[in-house]
């Protein structure tokens, strides 16, 4: 690893780490703000609406579809990212050669086999059309000594330890091979002539197009740091979002107990037709014996920490009222803790 690569890694690490830190601070601040608003009752109208509407079939169906879509997207992302990341790490450890029985997979790092050069007549006369592009993943097979023949595409390790995937264009008398990329012109054979011991495998003409660029990114230090940072950010989002959800559930539970319009109506009242109204934060909610009716603005009252429950018997016109305090001083002290 040279100096420029080390500097590049350091800059990448500092940049990604700085982003993760700033993201954590901002999202944590957002979480605290949301929880504070939930506990203070600023979002009560939204939560009350959810409590009232969540039993309606359309709302349930919409939420179910949304949840299914989110799960599908997340699952597809995981199915794609996790295998590719695992493949990249294994590929890095095994020096770009993942062995699967008698076959192996290799990511193509150059475009030297991506097209037929006009100088290479043998490609056209022998109909050799098994080219592959840079960033493809190709499938190699093991070969026995003596099985290789002219114009086979082989992957081998040269004298510098670099993986080369080129076509055999000549076989020397000593058993070594002269290789060349299909996209290279005349006189550009490879300087190193591999022997059988240098060969990793023979190309089977099977390939997976394009994903090699993702593999190579994951294999790079910048890619690895980025993936680790992404996983960290997803963990932070999940952790802090759960805090917000918990605060919403606790607040919703408190509001649900208050707006449960059936629990305070005695059995005699249930036999009669009635209208119940809830007055809270500038809105009036209407219920009858069958459930929720409507919601409208309350232009006269704007109650902040209490709900007025008004029940009217349609037959007798008798009206009963109850004032319920949502947040007592004890509740506020508990929330502050």
Q: Quote the CA–CA distance of 62 and 233 in Å, as a whole number.
A: 28
Which residue, chain included where needed, has tokens 């060349």?
180
**Hey, what are 128's tokens?**
């050799």
Q: Quote the CA–CA distance of 144 and 121 in Å, as a whole number.
A: 28
pLDDT value of residue 269? 46
Q: Quote the CA–CA distance of 176 and 170 in Å, as a whole number.
A: 9
41, 327 contact by CB (below 8 A): yes
**Hey, what are 271's tokens?**
């036999």
Mind giving me the DSSP string for 67-127?
HHHHHHHHHHHHHHHHHHHHHHHHHHHTTS-EEETTEEEEE--SSTTSS--TT-HHHHHTT
Q: Nearest-5° angle of CA 150, CA 156, CA 159?
A: 120
Element (H, E) at 293: strand 291-297
Q: Where are the alpha helices (DSSP H) in 179-295?
A: 212-219, 221-259, 267-271
**Hey, what are 182's tokens?**
């299909």
**For each of the chain's 337 residues, which pLDDT tens digit applies?**
567 767 777 877 787 788 888 889 999 999 999 898 888 777 888 777 777 766 556 656 776 787 788 778 777 777 777 776 776 666 666 555 555 668 888 888 888 999 999 999 999 999 999 999 888 888 999 998 889 999 999 999 998 888 899 999 999 999 999 999 999 988 899 999 999 999 999 999 998 887 766 766 766 677 777 777 877 887 888 888 889 888 888 888 887 777 665 544 444 444 457 788 888 888 888 888 777 788 888 888 777 778 888 888 877 888 888 888 877 555 555 555 5
pLDDT value of residue 107? 81
Sheet holding 137-141, edge to edge: 98-100, 103-107, 137-141, 199-208, 153-157, 163-171, 177-180
pLDDT value of residue 270? 45
Does pTM surpass 0.85? Answer: no
Q: Nearest-5° angle of CA 220, CA 230, CA 136?
A: 40
Q: Quote the CA–CA distance of 152 and 142 in Å, as a whole number.
A: 13
Report which of 273, 278, 301, 303 is spatially closest to residue 288, judged by C-alpha positions: 273
Report which of 162, 206, 156, 163 is spatially closest to residue 178, judged by C-alpha positions: 156
């Amino acid at each position: 690893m040279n100096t420029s690569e080390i500097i590049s890694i350091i800059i990448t690490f500092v940049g990604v780490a700085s982003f993760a830190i700033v993201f954590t601070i901002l999202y944590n601040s957002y979480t605290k703000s949301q929880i504070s608003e939930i506990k203070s009752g600023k979002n009560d109208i939204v939560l009350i609406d959810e409590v009232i509407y969540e039993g309606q079939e359309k709302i349930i169906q919409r939420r179910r579809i949304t949840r299914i879509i989110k799960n599908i997207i997340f699952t597809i992302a995981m199915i794609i990212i996790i295998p590719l990341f695992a493949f990249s790490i294994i590929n890095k450890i095994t020096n770009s050669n993942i062995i699967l029985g008698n076959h192996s997979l290799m990511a193509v790092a150059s475009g030297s086999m991506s097209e037929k050069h006009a100088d290479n007549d043998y490609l056209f006369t022998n109909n050799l059309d098994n080219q592959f592009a840079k960033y493809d993943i190709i499938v190699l097979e093991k070969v026995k000594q003596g099985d290789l023949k002219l114009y086979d595409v082989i992957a081998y390790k040269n004298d510098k330890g670099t993986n080369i995937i080129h076509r055999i264009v000549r076989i020397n008398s000593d058993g070594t091979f002269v290789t060349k990329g299909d996209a290279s012109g005349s006189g550009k054979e490879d300087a190193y002539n591999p022997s059988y011991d240098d060969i990793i495998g023979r190309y089977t003409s099977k390939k997976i197009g394009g994903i090699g660029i993702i593999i190579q990114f994951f294999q790079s230090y910048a890619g690895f740091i980025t993936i680790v940072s992404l996983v960290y950010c997803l963990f932070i989002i999940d952790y802090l979002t759960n805090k917000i959800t918990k605060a919403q559930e606790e607040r919703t539970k408190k509001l649900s107990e208050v707006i449960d319009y059936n629990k305070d109506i005695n059995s005699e009242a249930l036999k009669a037709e009635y209208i119940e109204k809830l007055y809270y934060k500038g809105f009036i909610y209407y219920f009858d014996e069958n459930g929720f009716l409507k919601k409208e603005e309350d232009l006269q009252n704007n109650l902040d920490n209490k709900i007025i429950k008004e029940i009217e018997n349609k037959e007798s016109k008798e009206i009963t009222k109850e004032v319920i305090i949502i947040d007592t001083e004890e509740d506020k002290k508990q929330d502050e803790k």
